[in-house]
Structure 1
Amino acid sequence: MAKTINLVIICLFFNLLSLVIISSGLRLKLTHRDSPNSPLYQPNLSDFERFNKNIEISKARASNFFHQFKPQNVSLRAPLTYHEPIYTVDIGLGTPAVKRTFIFDTGSHLTWTQCKPCIKCFRQKQPLFDVKKSVSYKLMPRTNKLSKGFECSHIGCVYGVKYYSGQFSTGVLSLEDFTFGTSAGVPRRILNMVFGCGMNNHGSFGEKNVASGILGMDKEPISFARQLGARIKNRFSYCLTNIDSGKIKESYLRFGEEAVIKGKNTRSTPFLRSTPHAHYMLKLTDISISGRKLGLTQGTFPEGCLIDSGSAIGLLNEKAFLKVEKFLTVYFSRFKNVRRVVGKQVPKGLICYMNVVPTGSFFAKLPNMTYHFEGADFDVPWENTFVVFAKGMFCFAAMKSQNATILGAHQQRNVRVVYELRDDKLSFAPEDCSRDAI
């Protein structure tokens, strides 16, 4: 009788535990490279040097996103993007779970990591993932529905991803369990996720050799988000915090029932479906500064606007950028203590000013900005429109690009952004992202 009661109690316990896990949304901590909590943090850089670094990252990603790369081998699925990471996530891989540090990238499809045995691997701090030490590891069979587009045999399937900036990874497509954190504090394991086990890899995937691979989150069926599918109600979100003056509040990548907008003022715009790639492109019709539309004509943004948390600042194609530059020239001509900064002090393609008599009240007069997307306006307050430095210098937080237009991470701060994959749309609303971890 006692054994029967104990068995019932144990069953009830595990049933309750499963309910807690199911009702608790999955989440991963997003760590910004400029946060002191990031393994990529460089403490000796000044704010302006960090800004310059982020500019180079944004430029490189733009060239990757909008460059039409044609692979010679069908196993190379491109174009893809990568340069230096802005955000990283830690996630458990295998059984028993071992921590892997991935680059969070909404512009890549395949999730992959370096595996042992390795023919050629780049340096990383974490040990290579040893498939022999995981009881849940197996090769993905060619009968798997995600094998389409890859080279397969009766043994399994191989993959190859090549990035325009020179990095690449090749290996075998595999199945493995991934372990997430949850809001209830109880880890949750997702079984049999398809990922790439890289055995021939090349390139620098982040300073300090921290990253071991990429967490691919684009719209392709094989992406991590699309694989999770109904288990996360086909949606994920983030709310990016300010990275200012060492006052760091972590951001979180949230899935499923946690990936929701809790307040009002929700706005939504559809993803473009006419583009040839699986990136998150939006239809941008015009831009306003300080409440005044620039009057950009139809066709100014033929490829749309890419929303990308991996680009530190925004980019505007040349036609739109020149309109913004003209507006800001007139706007700041009203202030006698403000002058344009040019020359070697400013990276090419950037608009910067110096307030000779800096005061806190002046910066509150900086204009805000609005991106007019199809059916929804994305408001960017002055704190996200500009980057302010010491001694009165400030720069417009988007730079000129030949053809790319990107809504970067700086413009997205303190906004809940929800990627709704089933409805093929982006939803967003203002939120105090510093409270996201509460």
Structure 2
Amino acid sequence: MAPTIFLLLAIFSIVESTVGEGGGLKLELIHHRLSLDNVSPMAAKSQIWPETSQFIVKIAIGTPPTKVHAILDTGSDLFWAQCRPCVKCYRQTNPIYDPSKSSTFQTLSCKSPQCHLWGSGAACSGTDTCKYGYGYGSGSTLGELATEKMAITSRSGATTSFLGVVFGCGHNNSGTFNANEMGLIGFGRGAVSFVSQIGPSVGGRKFSLCLMPYNTDPRISSSLSIGSGSEVKGPGVITAQLVRTSDQTSYSLTLKGISVEKTFVPYSTSGPPAKGNAILDTGTPPTLLPKELYGRLATEVRRHIPLKPIDDTLCYKGNLGNLVITLHFDGHVDLRLSTAQTFNKMPDGSFCFTAMGVDDKDALIGNSMMSNFLVGYDIDNMTVSFKPTDCTKIG
């Protein structure tokens, strides 16, 4: 869920944690479409599960703690939650976090090192409170920056707490968020992201995750790791060097083209693609491609599927077989995708392509195409590693 506007950058953050220096966190990823009340608290082996194609993390904030279910998003940095008092909050099933009832909540002033704007100074009000604003393709959030205690709890009941985590207390939030999505937890590369803040306490600014395919049995779980022990290693691992761009948040690679079986569809017909033209984004379900590229790709997909599409779409009813589509990134990084990663099964039994065309020159690789890969992100070394994995069998 790549932000469309950035009104703040909290650059320096100090995190105190009860976890031992360098000890990594093993977090549980749960593929559930059940009531959130049926899922035990997240933490050192935390929970994540898909909710309308999003993956939701459960985390406790404040003292006493309030449970927050936040969208896991590698395309943004800020962790924010809906907060009272609400100027405008979308409907939320669980109680909205009330900072006035927490003894560890503290707003940030404009003089604090955490309150900085990208390029144009602090986003400050006349009361000297550090304000923030974040916009996404699917909504926006406005509020104040603060620090708070965060806690994550394993299935065994062990709780790991972090003090002084910078987050956004959202008083004005809107968009396509549903009632089970209480905020968003950013896992981007920026200094204010959750993984950047807790990284020094758990063995480094790195993490790995394995996202379930859309229709996985909700009783099956896999894991998310942060810090030490999250490295993706072993046979079959492909590692790519991330591209440094002006965007200090995103995990960017250079997409050279896409193959449908053995037919190569170049990214551009007018020359080599721009460096860093593709972003890995767990907060966006579909893959978004420039319209011109998508049109050429759609032609090849139709040509290789011996079924009649539904209307003028890339949706089909029937057996698609195992159509192999390959993403070709710079550095000889080729990711072979199966139909489970490129087509989602719809409620009516049809299968629809997980990519769509947009008016943009860059691509965004969404969470559907990244399912069934163990993906390791290493911010300090600027690498991302992929290992084809049955994510239903990672515990």
Cα displacement (A) at 1:190: 0.9
Deviates more, 1:185-194 or 1:239-248: 239-248
The Cα offsets for residues 280-308 of structure 1, whole Å up to 9 and x where unpaired, read as 22111122221443344544467611211
The number of residue pairs the alignment matches comes to 358
Once the two structures are superposed, residues 87-125 of structure 1 have per-residue CA deviations (whole angstroms, 9 ceiling, x without a partner) of: 211101122322112222222222222333444444323
Counterpart in the other structure of 2:123: 151
TM-score, normalised with respect to structure 2 = 0.78
- The residue that corresponds to 2:372 in the other structure is 414
Q: Which residue of 2 aligns with 1:315?
A: 288
Secondary structure at the aligned position of 1:116 is classed as: coil
Write the distance in 2 (CA, Å) between the matches of 1:172 and 1:330. Answer: 52
2:310 aligned residue: 341
**For the residues of structure 1 that align with 2:155 and 2:94, how far apart are their CA atoms?**
26
Cα separation, 2, equivalents of 1:424 and 1:245: 31
Give 3-state SS (helix, strand or coil) of 2:130's partner. strand
| 3-state SS of 2:292 partner | helix
CA contact (8 A) 2:22 2:200 kept: no
Q: Which amino acid aligns with 2:73?
A: D
2:261 to 290, 293, 311: 290
Q: CA deviation at 1:274?
A: 2.4
Change beyond 3 A, Cα 1:296–1:383: same
Aligned to 1:230: 200
Residue of structure 2 in register with 1:186 after alignment? 158
| Partner SS state of residue 300, structure 2 | helix
The structure whose residues are more often strand, as a share, is 2
- Deviations 1:309-352 (Å, cap 9, x if unpaired)? 222222222232233233234334xx4xx323324xxxxxx423
Equivalence for 1:368? 324
Cα contact 2:72–2:184 (8 A) shared by 1 = yes
CA contact (8 A) 1:261 1:428 kept: yes
Q: Does the alignment pair 1:239 with 2:236?
A: no
Taking the aligned partners of 1:287 and 1:175, their CA distance within structure 2 comes to: 43
Amino acid at match of 2:339: W
- 8 Å Cα contact 1:205/1:213 also seen in 2: no
Shift in alpha-carbon separation, 1:165–1:281, aligned structure 2, 3 A? closer
Judged with a 3 Å threshold, the aligned counterparts in structure 2 of structure 1 residues 183 and 263 are, in CA distance, closer, same or farther, namely: farther
Counterpart of 2:168 in structure 1 is 196
Q: RMSD value over aligned CA atoms?
A: 3.4
Does the 8 A contact of 1:162 with 1:168 survive in 2? Answer: yes
What residue is the counterpart of 1:109 in the other structure?
A: 77
How much has 1:23 moved relative to structure 2? 7.1
The Cα of 1:273 is off from its aligned counterpart by 1.6
- Name the SS of the counterpart of 2:83 in structure 1: strand
Aligned with residue 234 of structure 2, among 263, 266, 269: 263
Confirm or deny that 1:395 pairs with 2:363.
no
Match of residue 327 from structure 1? 300
Amino acid across the alignment from 2:181: A
The one of 104, 107, 120 aligned to 1:139: 107
Structure-1 separation of matches of 2:85 and 2:373: 43
2:132 aligned with 1:160: yes
CA distance in 1, matches of 2:349, 2:149: 51
Change beyond 3 A, Cα 1:168–1:351:
closer
2:264 is matched by which residue type in structure 1?
K
Distance 1:330 1:391 in 2: 24
Q: Where does the alignment leave 5 or more consecutive residues of structure 2 unmatched?
A: 1-17, 39-49
Inter-partner Cα distance in structure 1 for 2:153 and 2:174: 30
In structure 2, the CA distance between the partners of 1:353 and 1:261, relative to structure 1 (3 Å rule), is same
Structure 1: runs of 5 or more not aligned: 1-17, 42-53, 58-83, 344-349
TM-score scaled to structure 1, two decimals? Answer: 0.71
Are the counterparts in 1 of residues 123 and 131 from structure 2 also a CA contact under 8 Å? Answer: yes
Are the aligned partners of 2:205 and 2:227 in contact in 1 as well (CA < 8 Å)?
A: yes
Quote the Cα distance in structure 2 between the aligned partners of 1:202 and 1:390.
29
Q: Does 1:432 align with 2:390?
A: yes
1:248 shift after superposition? 4.2
2:339 equivalent among 382, 392, 404? 382
How far apart, CA to CA, are the structure 2 residues paired with 1:144 and 1:210? 33
User: Is 134-143 or 409-418 further displaced after alignment?
Assistant: 134-143
Task: Choose between structure 1 and 2: higher helix proportion.
Answer: 1
Contact 2:254 2:273 in 1 (8 A): no
- Indicate whether 1:305 and 2:274 are aligned: no
